[in-house]
Amino acid sequence: MISLVFLACLAQDPLGEDVDKAIANLYSDRHSESDLAKQELVEIGRKSVPKLLAELEKPREAEKTKQIRARRLICEILGHVRDNSQPVLDALTARLTDTEEYGWSIAAAAAGALDMIADERAVPSLITALTSKQAESDKWLKYHCIHALGVMRTASAAEALRKALDDEGVAQVAGENVHLISAAAADALGRIRDKDAQEGLGKLLSKNDKNPYTDQTVAVHAARALERIAGESKGPLEGDQGGITATLDQWRTWWAAEKTKKDVATTRRRIEEVAAALETYKRDQGKYPDILLHLKEKPAVVTGTWPEGGYYKGEIVDAWGTPFVYDTTGDDGAAVDVVSRGNDRRDWGKGDDADLWNHDRWKTVRLEKSRKAMDAILVALKNCNEAQGRYPDALAHLTGKTAPAGFTTQKEWPKEGYLTALPTDGFGQTFSYTRPGKYLEPFDLVSWGADLAEGGADENADLWNHDKWKAPRVEETKKKMDAVAKAIEFFRKEQDRYPAQLADLAKKPPYAKKDKWPAEGYVKDIPDRDAVQDAFKNPFVYRVPGTAGEAFDLISLGADGREGGAGPDADMPLKK
């Protein structure tokens, strides 16, 4: 016979009683009691979930403040329990729009719970919450959505996260700052490896606001994200502040170069689009527009039909905000020129500062102008020397109407000088004139090309009145190659690898050994300590591993800076 005591024991449910009591205590006026109840329910775990969900759904109007806090605590408990069953996910996502607040909103608590559970089924709701108007004022909601989407590596959230990089807001508790939104967004985009976030992250590299939660600046968060995205390190981002500062400087330098590349690509694309629109305009209207603005706005007089919206809806400025130069004179070898003055906003230039055109015919035209201008100056110099028995000390003397002071004339000085005006080269620059010349010539006359600097190839090539300058530089290049090769081998001996690029000989790369780096790098014995250019001021070709079984290739492309050539223009590989 079953005893009454045994039946009574069966009727008892200690766990259920404890869950009920703990849930009731969530409404306590004493926060210590409600916090203890929360802790107990977290310890009970999933067995408490059905009753917690039921409690969350109960309509309660009385004692609203207690109800709000209890609901917030229930969301937090569900997060700590990490129950990812569909009913829990449904209950939490349904509360992402609940603006009721005690300390922080129920919506923020629900987002925090979903952040801890990290179930991808909640992603659409988290993205919706992140992009809602509510998230603009509820920074805890925004923070938890950002963190959750980053933890789950949610690529589909990248666009929304990129926008969050501009948010300078902060999640607070009792007026104290805790999480900077921009720092959280940077972390999330780094986890996702979103390459399109590089521009936004690059801008944050100058932000020195400190994120209280990590005690790191926004710049450090951005650099860490870029490390993940770029797949490379540029130094330590923790520990010694000096090391962190140096690493951030490296990232800022990297970003400046990357941004310029992007701006150049953007400008090239716009130029192509504008050039195409110009051709369509000419086809319809019988001529090119007088100004580029007429591609977008209808001029007073048109010949053909005018398309709705004009011929071009894009920008008619380059990526640096400078209006394109527009010319229809055909003086540069094409019917129409569309030109950007580049990153430096000045005529010509080199590298990232070089001008960008809609065609390449200008190069031949400008170089020919340089040759013709040089020929005219050479004729004037010859006439002066033959008539006066000497060359002038300065080119400007050729345009004088009287002989220069101290100039003893043998014949009468021409009334208009030997030149009516001094020609400039094809790039609008005065020729360099040195008397006597450096190479036993009576003078050197030089155009420095489109880059306005010594050295270069193609449109940047220097134009001299003689070729005697080339041979000494060939010998200088050979000596320099030997010095660079020795530095490469010394680098390999100490670093157990060859440098990835020649610039690594001068500036310590991230992969270098911490305790093995000379004070002056590996360029101490290299002439001019310039490891990347030959004596013609053109970059060496460096390949590792090299061809034909060589450990590396080191080549100068000669005076012309181009593959092939003969004499001083011939390529010069390192002789090993």
Q: What is the pTM of this model?
A: 0.74
**What distances in angstroms separate CA 342 from CA 64, 264, 337, 419, 448, one per listed residue?**
63, 8, 15, 34, 19
Are 507 and 564 in a shared domain?
yes
Count of domains in the chain?
4
* 67 found inside a domain: yes
* 1 found inside a domain: no
Residue 292 pLDDT exceeds 70:
yes
Contacts of 293 (CB under 8 A, 6+ apart): 316
Output the DSSP codes for 372-438.
HHHHHHHHHHHHHHHHHSS--SSGGGGG-SSPPTT---SSPPPTT-S-SSPPP-TTS-PPEEESS-T
Count Cα atoms within 13 angstroms, Cβ side, for 30. 5
Are 399 and 325 in a shared domain?
no
* Residues 254 and 223 sit within 8 Å (Cβ to Cβ): no
pLDDT digits (tens, 9 = 90+) for 354-376: 999 999 999 999 999 999 999 99
Residues 222, 227, 233, 239: what is their CA dihedral angle, to the nearest 10 degrees? Answer: 40
| Residue tagged 């809602």 (tokens) | 132
* 31 found inside a domain: yes
Are 133 and 176 in a shared domain?
yes
Report d(CA 288, CA 337) in Å as an integer.
Answer: 11
Report d(CA 413, CA 490) in Å as an integer.
Answer: 63
Q: Which two tokens stand for residue 135?
A: 């998230």
Are 387 and 403 in a shared domain?
yes
pLDDT score of 134: 96
Q: Which residue has the higher pLDDT, 217 or 66?
A: 217
Are 340 and 398 in a shared domain?
no
* Residues 272 and 358 sit within 8 Å (Cβ to Cβ): yes
Are 40 and 114 in a shared domain?
yes
Identity of the amino acid at 385: N
Dihedral sign for Cα 391, 395, 399, 400, please: negative
Residue 5: pLDDT band (50, 70, 90) is: low
Q: Which residue has the higher pLDDT, 408 or 271?
A: 271
Are 318 and 420 in a shared domain?
no
pLDDT score of 497: 94
pLDDT score of 437: 93
- In angstroms and rounded to an integer, the radius of gyration of the C-alpha atoms of the chain is 37
Residue 60: pLDDT band (50, 70, 90) is: low
Report d(CA 434, CA 515) in Å as an integer.
Answer: 49
Residue 439 pLDDT exceeds 90:
no
* 6 found inside a domain: no
Are 63 and 206 in a shared domain?
yes
Residue 338: pLDDT band (50, 70, 90) is: very high
Centroid of chain to Cα 365: 34
* 315 found inside a domain: yes
Are 452 and 515 in a shared domain?
no
Q: Pick the closest to residue 35 from 68, 65, 64, 76 (CA basis).
A: 76
Contacts of 563 (CB under 8 A, 6+ apart): 557, 571
Residue 406 pLDDT exceeds 60:
yes
pLDDT score of 377: 98
Residue 207 pLDDT exceeds 70:
yes
Domain span at residue 179 reads 19-255
Residue that terminates a domain, selected from 220, 255, 290: 255
Start-to-end Cα distance in the chain: 104
* 4 found inside a domain: no
Residue that terminates a domain, selected from 354, 376, 408: 354
Query: What's the rounded mean pLDDT across residues 95-99?
Result: 94
* Residues 467 and 549 sit within 8 Å (Cβ to Cβ): no
Are 247 and 271 in a shared domain?
no
* Residues 510 and 233 sit within 8 Å (Cβ to Cβ): yes
Query: 252-266, 398-412, 451-465, 478-492: which has the minimum mean pLDDT?
Result: 398-412
Are 446 and 496 in a shared domain?
no
* 5 found inside a domain: no
Residue 351 pLDDT exceeds 90:
no
Residue that terminates a domain, selected from 320, 354, 388: 354
Of the chain, the percentage scoring pLDDT greater than 90 comes to: 77
The CATH number assigned to the domain holding 419 equals 3.30.700.10
Are 226 and 284 in a shared domain?
no
* 13 found inside a domain: no
